[in-house]
Amino acid sequence: MLFMVEMAVNLPPDMPAERAEQIKATEKAYSQQLQREGKWRHIWRVAGLYANVSIFDVKDAQELHDILMELPLYPWMEISVTALCRHPSSIRSDDK
Amino acid sequence: MLFMVEMAVNLPPDMPAERAEQIKATEKAYSQQLQREGKWRHIWRVAGLYANVSIFDVKDAQELHDILMELPLYPWMEISVTALCRHPSSIRSDDK
Amino acid sequence: MLFMVEMAVNLPPDMPAERAEQIKATEKAYSQQLQREGKWRHIWRVAGLYANVSIFDVKDAQELHDILMELPLYPWMEISVTALCRHPSSIRSDDK
Amino acid sequence: MLFMVEMAVNLPPDMPAERAEQIKATEKAYSQQLQREGKWRHIWRVAGLYANVSIFDVKDAQELHDILMELPLYPWMEISVTALCRHPSSIRSDDK
Amino acid sequence: MLFMVEMAVNLPPDMPAERAEQIKATEKAYSQQLQREGKWRHIWRVAGLYANVSIFDVKDAQELHDILMELPLYPWMEISVTALCRHPSSIRSDDK
Amino acid sequence: MLFMVEMAVNLPPDMPAERAEQIKATEKAYSQQLQREGKWRHIWRVAGLYANVSIFDVKDAQELHDILMELPLYPWMEISVTALCRHPSSIRSDDK
Amino acid sequence: MLFMVEMAVNLPPDMPAERAEQIKATEKAYSQQLQREGKWRHIWRVAGLYANVSIFDVKDAQELHDILMELPLYPWMEISVTALCRHPSSIRSDDK
Amino acid sequence: MLFMVEMAVNLPPDMPAERAEQIKATEKAYSQQLQREGKWRHIWRVAGLYANVSIFDVKDAQELHDILMELPLYPWMEISVTALCRHPSSIRSDDK
Amino acid sequence: MLFMVEMAVNLPPDMPAERAEQIKATEKAYSQQLQREGKWRHIWRVAGLYANVSIFDVKDAQELHDILMELPLYPWMEISVTALCRHPSSIRSDDK
Amino acid sequence: MLFMVEMAVNLPPDMPAERAEQIKATEKAYSQQLQREGKWRHIWRVAGLYANVSIFDVKDAQELHDILMELPLYPWMEISVTALCRHPSSIRSDDK
């Protein structure tokens, strides 16, 4: 099942740079692992914002939830979730 | 350049079915032509709504504008546009 | 998979009563058929409004979408969809 | 009487983990006790969010208020309350 | 049980004056009958708007719903419902 | 003159319990004094929220302002004010 | 008592020009009569919009309501009302 | 040129009273000086809120900006600015 | 004086094409005349929408208002106005 | 490509003045360097607010993103981005 997830990150300006970098590095590794597994299918940066638009391909809403809850940046994120399905006009066999 | 475009369609309930079908058929052909050209890269249905989330890959904002203005359903759409760029965590070479 | 769907109906005040009654009767039969099949698991009226809160139990977002698109009142509805999953504190085995 | 209650939790990221765990454990026990008593009839997780959708079956608004005020997580919650009643299309005798 | 109900009326400017007057007269009689029965406990005009704030004292949400659905002006109203309960600081024995 | 005042209280979760209790006690005494004087005519709890809906009967907006500014909980409140007047359908002589 | 009233006018584009002009002329005469009586104390145009910001000086909310309900443009207006009182920093004796 | 400026003040509840009083005193003196100069033409309190509605008469937007930036309470204010012009129905020669 | 004006156009889908074209042609001529006079200093299309962002350089708010009221598309526009002034970091002598 | 970027700055009132001045000075130098390079084409102050409206002329969304992420005030800014394109009515050859 496909979900669009929009994530906006709000780190407090006074978080020590070292801690912020460490969290971001962990986040990046976690995201790339899920991308390699095919579960985090797309991730794009929203131009000008510390935010992204992502497409997840998961078994169900439970798996999506478990993945998002483990995001290292989750405590500083504002998240919105939109369930997607195949569009009848799509010609891509993998955008189901 | 990549753009996320969210489109919601509001056809008046009393539009004759024949006319609605014709507009939708033209829309579908137009969308598929652009998908084949690689400009309308993704289109997903928003579950439960007459709406979609799409990713366009165009030369610039002008080309995006020209494409959207020609959508047969444009007069009945509510549209929002978000400029995207490559996410530093992305591992897909084509999600630039 | 479970989804919460909130539906608000806005019939134009000048719709002929007979037509409104017919649409509502078809809607009721359609809803009850889906309830009997176990797909439309709960439906509650929002007090004071021509609106409901519903819980659907479907295979995936696609099945939800197909069901909602067939609602006879769909053209006059405002709909919002929220994907749900099992709550770790739940003691009901069927609220998965 | 039935009420839908939507709860979103915002714990500050710097709350000591031990304290957070303790509050959540108390919350879970409290919720399950009310579920066993039949007053907290349903609880679902909103996919991707630290939030839930719940259905309460209480004597009146006063009992609902007293229950919610005792939620251990209440000080960090954003809550919305919607009064429900039986839907004329419902076929479940207990969704009154 | 007490509910605050906020009602805003939007009659189309081109509704024939006679029809508007008739609907309003029926509405007034209906409201006053419910006030005499003690179910529509308060009604105040919002200054400057064709809107009111009302307090209903009903058996439960179902009775409130049935009353509001019968409002002659209902098809042209925007309504919001808020469940109330006794305030611990209240000194009025009847504001329960 | 009548005003509806909606008050929502947001005390920080880490305010010492003793201080919170003291402020609330002062608030209660202040509210009850004004109720006895007939100026704070109604106060209801919004079910599920640390919030109230109140009706004030004061000489003018200035008196309302002076009363609200003295609320011990004022610094932690979000307040909205709505001027009311007698509703032509009201049958209560004191809901002027 | 002073009230700020913000009015935005939305005449349908297809209203016959003659009718629109007649309504506006009646509105202007009505407004100027109230200005001469000192009840409509100020009226300013919002730059770029068919809207105004006005200050009324009336006996109470009832008088304000009666005045606004008689506005010839009322059926096409969106109105918001804000109760004002004297500001402690004001040096104008008539801005009470 | 005339501008309506709406200002809402949010002082943190734990600001020492002495500091708050000092800022407010400076603000009052500053406001009254500008009123005497005819630049801050009106100031009204919004009933029930620590907020005001003001009318400024300045040379241009730059002068308005410079004045507002110097408000001692500026760092704790939420401000909105609306450009005004003479209303064709106004009979006051100075509400230009 | 500089103003940013954001305009969004909503022509009804069933407006005869000929009439729409005529209005747009008049609008274009009117806009270009004002651009040549230096009063409509910039106009950009918002990508994907029938909307623009414009910068006006006018004597005062009154002149802006008179210009906007004469826009042939005004009756179908949603407009927002923002007063601008020179930014202290600007290096362009004409962005005053 | 052109983008409109709206930036609002919220520095905490208790930030030491020296630090605030230093950040602002760095911001100004950074902005002016980009203006000289022709990438930050316009910057205007929003009258009355610590906010600006800017027009960027960049190669693509990626370049815009990289520029904005380096703003010294970025951590305290709320930013919105709007992709622009040439308006068919524009007579300025450089407002492409």
pLDDT tens, residue by residue, G56-81: 999 999 999 999 999 999 999 999 99
| Assigned token pair, A58 | 């998961």
Query: Minimal CA–CA distance to J3: which of J70, J67, J88?
Result: J67
- Residue J42 has its nearest CB partner, among I31, I32, I95, at I95
Cβ contact, residue pair F83, G85, below 8 Å: no
Cβ atoms within 10 Å, residue I6: 17
| Assigned token pair, I20 | 């729409």
Give the confidence band of E94 by pLDDT, cuts at 50, 70, 90: confident
Digit-coded pLDDT (tens) for G9-44: 999 999 999 999 999 999 999 999 999 999 999 999
Q: Is the pLDDT of residue J96 over 80?
A: no
CA H3 to CA H82: how far, in whole Å?
Answer: 6
Q: Which residues make beta-bridge pairs with I5?
A: I54, I81
* Mean pLDDT of the residues in chain E: 96
Cβ contact, residue pair H85, I61, below 8 Å: yes
Q: Tokens 């999600």 belong to which residue? A: B95
Count of the separate structural domains present in chain G: 1
**F80: Cα separation from own chain's centroid:** 10
Give the confidence band of C58 by pLDDT, cuts at 50, 70, 90: very high
Three-state SS at D26: helix
Q: Tokens 């406990």 belong to which residue? A: E41
Q: Is the pLDDT of residue A96 over 80?
A: no
B77 occurs within a structural domain = yes
Digit-coded pLDDT (tens) for E27-62: 999 999 999 999 999 999 999 999 999 999 999 999
Q: Which distant-in-sequence residues (6+ apart) come within 8 Å of B57 by Cβ?
A: B1, B2, B38, B39, B41
pLDDT at F94: 79
Which residues on chain G are in Cβ contact (under 8 Å) with H83?
46-48
Cβ pair H3, H83 in contact under 8 A: yes
Digit-coded pLDDT (tens) for H7-26: 999 999 999 999 999 999 99
pLDDT at E12: 95
Q: Is the pLDDT of residue G94 over 90?
A: no
Cβ contact, residue pair D35, C95, below 8 Å: no
I60 occurs within a structural domain = yes
Q: Taking residues C53-66, what's their average pLDDT? A: 98
As to burial, measured by CB atoms within 10 angstroms (0-12 exposed, 13-18 middle, 19+ buried), residue G78 is exposed
Task: In chain H, count H helices and then E strands.
Answer: 2, 4
> CB pairs below 8 Å between G and I: how many?
21
Cβ atoms within 10 Å, residue G60: 18
Which residues on chain F are in Cβ contact (under 8 Å) with D76?
13
pLDDT at J90: 96
DSSP type of residue D19: H
- N-to-C CA span, chain F: 8
**D29: Cα separation from own chain's centroid:** 12
CA B54 to CA A87: how far, in whole Å?
Answer: 10
Question: Judged by CB atoms within 8 Å, which residues 49-88 of H form the interface with F?
Answer: 49-50
Digit-coded pLDDT (tens) for B55-85: 999 999 999 999 999 999 999 999 999 999 9
Cβ contact, residue pair A68, D45, below 8 Å: no
pLDDT at D6: 98
Give the confidence band of I93 by pLDDT, cuts at 50, 70, 90: confident
| Assigned token pair, C62 | 């696609």
Q: How far is CA I26 from CA I22, I23, I63, I70, I72, in A?
A: 6, 5, 20, 11, 7
| Assigned token pair, C20 | 């409104």
A34 occurs within a structural domain = yes
Task: In chain F, count H helices and then E strands.
Answer: 2, 4
C91 occurs within a structural domain = no
Query: Minimal CA–CA distance to A75: which of D49, C85, D52, J10?
Result: D49
Cβ contact, residue pair G89, H32, below 8 Å: yes
* Mean pLDDT of the residues in chain I: 96
Q: How far is CA H4 from CA B54, C65, I5, I82, J6, in A?
A: 42, 48, 18, 12, 22
Cβ pair E3, D83 in contact under 8 A: yes
Q: How far is CA D35 from CA C92, D45, D61, J3, in A?
A: 8, 15, 17, 53
D neighbour chains, 3+ CB pairs within 8 Å: A, C, E, F
Q: Which residues make beta-bridge pairs with D84?
A: C46, D2
Strands (E) in chain B, as ranges, are 2-9, 40-46, 51-57, 77-86
Cβ pair I13, I22 in contact under 8 A: no
Three-state SS at G19: helix
Question: Judged by CB atoms within 8 Å, which residues 13-52 of H form the interface with F?
Answer: 13, 45-50
Cβ contact, residue pair H76, J13, below 8 Å: yes
Give the confidence band of A64 by pLDDT, cuts at 50, 70, 90: very high
D38 occurs within a structural domain = yes
CA J31 to CA H23: how far, in whole Å?
Answer: 33
Digit-coded pLDDT (tens) for D35-60: 999 999 999 999 999 999 999 999 99
Q: How far is CA I82 from CA H82, I4, I61, J26, in A?
A: 8, 5, 11, 27
Cβ atoms within 10 Å, residue C76: 18
pLDDT at F58: 98
pLDDT at G84: 98
Q: Is the pLDDT of residue I96 over 90?
A: no
Cβ pair A9, A76 in contact under 8 A: yes
**Closest CA in chain F for residue D64:** F48
I93 occurs within a structural domain = no
**Closest CA in chain J for residue B62:** J85
Digit-coded pLDDT (tens) for I15-50: 999 999 999 999 999 999 999 999 999 999 999 999
> Taking the CA of residue G48 as centre, how many other CA atoms within 13 Å lie in the half-sphere pointing to its CB?
20
Cβ pair B91, A28 in contact under 8 A: no
Task: Select from C23, C45, C55, C85 the residue whose CB has the most chain D CBs within 10 Å, as the one to mutate to test that interface.
Answer: C45
C3-21: b or e for each residue (b if 16 or more CB lie within 10 Å)?
A: bbbbbebebeeeeeeeeee
pLDDT at G93: 84
pLDDT at E39: 98
J64-73: b or e for each residue (b if 16 or more CB lie within 10 Å)?
A: bbebbeebbb
Which residues on chain J are in Cβ contact (under 8 Å) with B60?
1, 60, 85
Q: Is the pLDDT of residue D95 over 90?
A: no
β-bridge pairing D40-46 and D2-9 = unpaired
H46 occurs within a structural domain = yes
Q: Is the pLDDT of residue D96 over 80?
A: no
Share in percent of chain F as helix, strand, coil (round to 5): 35, 35, 35
pLDDT at G33: 98
**Closest CA in chain D for residue A72:** D13
ipTM of the complex: 0.96
Q: Taking residues I2-19, what's their average pLDDT? A: 96
- Residue F36 has its nearest CB partner, among E44, E48, E91, at E91
Q: Taking residues J57-86, what's their average pLDDT? A: 97
Cβ contact, residue pair H83, I61, below 8 Å: yes
CATH of the domain at C48: 3.30.70.1060
Cβ contact, residue pair G47, H83, below 8 Å: yes
Question: Domain range for residue C26?
Answer: 2-84
Give the confidence band of I94 by pLDDT, cuts at 50, 70, 90: confident
CA B4 to CA B42: how far, in whole Å?
Answer: 9
Higher local confidence (pLDDT), E95 or I82: I82
A52 occurs within a structural domain = yes
| Chains G and J physically touch (3 or more Cβ atom pairs below 8 Å) | no
Q: Is the pLDDT of residue C61 over 90?
A: yes
| Assigned token pair, C5 | 């769907």
Q: Is the pLDDT of residue A44 over 80?
A: yes
